[in-house]
Amino acid sequence: MATTTKIFKRIDGLSQFFAEQLVERMKVLPEKHFFSIALSGGSTPSSIFQYLAANFRETLAWDRLLVFWSDERCVAPDDHESNFRMTKESLLDHVPIPTTNIFRIKGEDNPALEAERYAKAVGQFIPSYNDIPRFDLMMLGLGDDGHTASIFPGNLHLFNSKKLFEIAEHPKTMQKRITATGTLINNAQTVAFLVTGEAKSEMAATVLYRKPGSENLPASLVDPVNGDLLWLLDEKAAGKLQTNI
Ligand code: 6PG
């Protein structure tokens, strides 16, 4: 696994780089192949998606992008908490992506049944590597507690599950979530952490420098053994990193 860390002055620069990576990787797609991405939720992606919609509407081959999610809150798709709603409002409603390329996690359905259904859908549309579906790009965020996707500290059994998706629970709100597991995440061709804001600076340094105690954090277990790991941070989130990395 190759790890690359890039630091950007502001989120616009990070978004530009992320978008250019997408464009470049899609340019070399074999004919008739699709590029598969699993999107993360939360607030950081919203700004990145808005940038993509505003600046890459014409540049990116949206009809060859298959959009999945790395996690979703167990709420209706029009709920303000929904990662799908956030993505729809900041990106999908503004770019020419066919609806047939969009595979949302149905947060409104029974979590156990939906985790199973969604795992099947991923298996059906995403080519496998070592008998596990392999996303071209898995987008992840970093929580200030070291969570990623919806795997929170103290729930490493979810990361280590052999399933592709599991049911998680937010430690504070008890909100149920459906989350990709480490089995799926670590099989991706590329995993990209997109991390912004000073609130993440301590945790980013803890995970990136493998500080004592980090070994029990879900984000530390992200290790695409046959792929690449990309850390994209803005200067505030990178505030506790040595700049020569
Ligand atoms: C979610 C996300 C979650 C998020 C982190 C960081 O559904 O909330 O998948 O893992 O990526 O909490 O979120 P921010 O980048 O918005 O702080």
Ligand 1 pocket, residue 224 CB under 6 Å: no
User: In angstroms, rounded to a whole number, what is the distance separating the alpha carbons of residues 40 and 20?
Assistant: 18
Q: Would the pTM of this model clear 0.95, i.e. be above it?
A: yes
Query: In this predicted structure, what is the pLDDT of residue 243?
Result: 65
User: In angstroms, rounded to a whole number, what is the distance separating the alpha carbons of residues 41 and 71?
Assistant: 7
Residues 6+ apart with CB under 8 A from 203: 142, 143, 144, 145, 146, 217, 219
Mean pLDDT by 10 residues, the chain (245 residues): 93 98 95 96 96 97 98 98 98 98 98 98 98 98 98 98 98 98 98 98 97 96 96 98 69
For residue 101, what are its two tokens? 């390329």
Domain boundaries, the chain: 2-26+34-218
Query: In this predicted structure, what is the pLDDT of residue 242?
Result: 83
Closest-CA residue, ligand 1 atom 11, reads 141
Question: Quick one: CATH architecture of 2-26+34-218?
Answer: 3-Layer(aba) Sandwich (3.40)
Phi-psi region of 121 (alpha: psi -120 to 50; beta: other; left: phi over 0): alpha
For residue 91, what are its two tokens? 């990106």
With CA atoms as reference, report the closest residue to 239 among 3, 4, 8. Answer: 8
Ligand 1 pocket, residue 150 CB under 6 Å: yes
* H helix count then E strand count, the chain: 7, 11
Ligand 1 pocket, residue 218 CB under 6 Å: no
For residue 172, what are its two tokens? 């504070």
Cα 194 to ligand 1 centre (Å) = 10
